[in-house]
Structure 1
């Protein structure tokens, strides 16, 4: 299944590599805005305490407001996987279709994953995998409440968590290459990984639909 997903991702990305590189650059630059606003150090912490707090608060709010952009990336990779015609505007689609829901569901996922990680790293990884289909599900079923979408993700990926982990693990070599190239390699690696995982969602969804038809 993993090799099949990778082959399908490469085929889907043919003629779209540079488009996804551009989308990835836009995603990275916009998500970097909060860190650019918040300085790493303060000259005089005592005299700038109020300013520091204001800047930190502004940075937090901006980071939250930009969450739909990352959701848009998930949706874009799903459209690429389905060989749909894509435009850069699709990256901003969640801002207009489900702004608050995309923020809420991302916060809930992060919170749940954090709580499980406090127990041990492995349970945190397992839960992160369990929630990994949530944003795709919201793309397909936007009427679902955030918590129900998370629940549907847990149900759908049940029995496939091991494969999901191995799929991510199979990209270790690529991620190391990205580090060696000082991050430049990630311009191509991240779209490849993202589209592959979206294809994995499609494969699991297709198998479950087949089971329902047989029933």
Structure 2
């Protein structure tokens, strides 16, 4: 019998026992790096803090820097999702494994390519209507987890496989993430500090969703992948 949303969340809390410290630390580190590294680079490129603070409009160099770091950090944030996959599988996660993603440049480029394709496909669907675009975004949501378990997949194969395996689970995935909305408001009222704990909770629940409903299909004999998007 499939696990309910409450059972998935309870299982996630159990998996996080004894790992909250490292999970909160990782969340904090990712926040610091993705927030302040681009800011420091932008200040330096602007000619100093005073010039940066007094500028009335965003210069072109700042836009270029932000775009560069947006792509650069995609493998890092993806590897942080994989960190919680380790947690959900009751293994011993290490923060060093998150940053080690850059050692495999081929995988890093594949992750970036996957993110770009997902963005393009979702945007194209949203040009029709917002709802179809959101549905497609949910359909593609398992692509990064699938890349972790199937590194031989191309970016397009991971997206297509996610779309195929999410059939019948999109509504449950949506409701599962929506169920955290109350905690999101509470985290906001704590001036964002609560997200240090909420983010690992949500990420581990999403990893458990993948383990429960998506990954088991990967144990079957691999079938030919339909590349139709």
TM-score exceeds 0.5: yes
The equivalent residue for 2:17 is: 14
Aligned partner (choices 109, 130, 141) of residue 150 of structure 2 = 141
Aligned residues, how many?
A: 207
- Go from structure 1 to structure 2 and tell me whether the alpha carbon gap of 1:36 and 1:179 turns closer, same or farther (over 3 Å shift): farther
Cα distance in 2 for partners of 1:85, 1:200 equals 19
Aligned partner (choices 93, 103, 113) of residue 122 of structure 2 = 113
* TM-score, length of structure 1 as denominator length: 0.88
Deviation at 1:2, TM superposition (A): 0.8
2:68 matched to 1:56?
no
**RMSD of aligned Cα (Å):** 2.1
2:197 matched to 1:188?
yes
Deviation at 1:72, TM superposition (A): 0.6
- Go from structure 1 to structure 2 and tell me whether the alpha carbon gap of 1:6 and 1:38 turns closer, same or farther (over 3 Å shift): same
Conserved in 2, the CA contact under 8 Å of 1:81 and 1:195?
A: yes
Conserved in 2, the CA contact under 8 Å of 1:37 and 1:59?
A: no
Gaps of 5+ in 1: none
Deviation at 1:43, TM superposition (A): 3.2
Cα distance in 2 for partners of 1:189, 1:76 equals 15
The equivalent residue for 2:49 is: none
2:135 matched to 1:126?
yes
The equivalent residue for 1:34 is: 38
Gaps of 5+ in 2: 44-51, 222-229
Any idea what SS the aligned residue of 1:143 has? coil
Cα distance in 2 for partners of 1:42, 1:124 equals 39
After superposition, where does 1:72-111 map in structure 2 within 5 Å? 72-97=79-104, 98-111=107-120
Cα distance in 1 for partners of 2:206, 2:56 equals 46
The equivalent residue for 2:227 is: none
Cα distance in 2 for partners of 1:69, 1:184 equals 21
Conserved in 2, the CA contact under 8 Å of 1:9 and 1:81?
A: yes
Any idea what SS the aligned residue of 1:119 has? coil
- Go from structure 1 to structure 2 and tell me whether the alpha carbon gap of 1:62 and 1:206 turns closer, same or farther (over 3 Å shift): closer
* TM-score, length of structure 2 as denominator length: 0.83
Cα distance in 1 for partners of 2:55, 2:168 equals 53
Deviation at 1:110, TM superposition (A): 1.7
C-alpha offsets along residues 26-73 of structure 1, whole Å, 9 cap, x if unaligned?
A: 11111112245446876376xxx9xx2223212211221111101111
